[in-house]
Amino acid sequence: MHSSNWDNLRYVLSVIEAGSVSAAARDLGVNHATVLRRVAAFEAQNGGAIFDRNANGYRVLPGKEALVQAVREVENAVLGVERLMLGANPQLSGVVRISSTDTICQYLLPDVLQTLKAEAPQLEIELLSNNSHLNFARMEADLFVRPAMTLPEDMIATSVTPLVFRAYATSADLEKWFRLQGPLARSVPAKWLSANVPGDSMQSGSDSFVVLSRMAQSGAGIAVLPSFVGDRVPDLLHLADRMPDIEVPIWVGSHQDLRDIPRIRAVRKSVIAHLSGPRTQDPAA
Each residue of 95-130: pLDDT tens digit?
Answer: 888 989 989 999 989 888 888 888 778 888 888 887
The average pLDDT across 208-219 equals: 95
Give the sign of the dihedral formed by CA 203, CA 207, CA 209, CA 213.
negative
Q: What are phi and psi of 23, to 5 degrees?
A: -65, -40
86 pLDDT exceeds 70?
no
pLDDT tens by residue, 176-194: 999 999 989 989 999 999 9
pLDDT given for residue 76 in this prediction: 65
Q: Specify the pLDDT at position 269.
A: 85
Residue 19 has pLDDT above 50, yes or no: yes
Residue 134 has pLDDT above 60, yes or no: no
As beta bridge partners, residue 202 has: 177
